[in-house]
Amino acid sequence: MPLSRFRHIVIEGPIGAGKTSLAQRLAERLDGETLLERPELNPFLPKFYQEPERYALQNQLFFLFQRIQQLRELKQMDLFGRLTVADFLIDKDPLFARLTLSADELHLYRQIYEALKPQTPRPDLVIYLQAQPETLIQRVRKRGRDYEANMSEEYLAALADSYNRFFYHYDEAPVLVVNSEPLNFVEREGDLELLLERISAMRGGREFFNVSE
């Protein structure tokens, strides 16, 4: 099946999985547009990593409002006439909330989320990137963002587990689960070509892509 059948692809995965890099590479390779998170615009993110209990709710709500605004603008501009590759799935937004918010904060967040979540076209495909926590922490350290310096492997392990549980039940769109451990989509063109071939060969609603090094 041709890749041209895809108009909306979402790359997802925990912090350090490489979703933004892959979204950019796929959009470039397939002559599409990108829809990317902008964590550098969130003034609460550095504060959250320093004092998570104090700034978790502000951090979560900022990202929620940012993502909703991006999706609304995308819907208004009707960019789905051309392939759009995003590095976030709005449906998974509560995943971080359940991990970081207190019970009262989570209740408030859920009310806001349900009231504001936009009606958006479901993705044609979700590519879920998996990696072990030790790999995630290595990648986070390598990119050298100051506000991520104190991120623990325990937090990333809990996050990776939450992602696994979320996508185990997710059935709103076809999902390709990718073991990203041996792959480097940025520096190795062959890895990207292998992924494109695997996407073209998809037939079911949930499939797996795993290559040995």
Euclidean distance between CA atoms 16 and 93, whole angstroms: 17
Token pair recorded at residue 68: 């909703």
Give the span between the Cα atoms of 45 and 38, in whole angstroms.
Answer: 11
Calpha distance 116→108 (Å, rounded):
12
Helix (H, G, I), strand (E, B) or coil at 6: coil
The residue with tokens 């958006």 is 120
Q: Give the neighbor-by-neighbor strand order of the sheet with 84-86.
A: 33-35, 84-86, 8-12, 125-130, 175-179, 206-209
Point out the residues that are catalytic. 87
CB 37 within 8 A of CB 67: yes
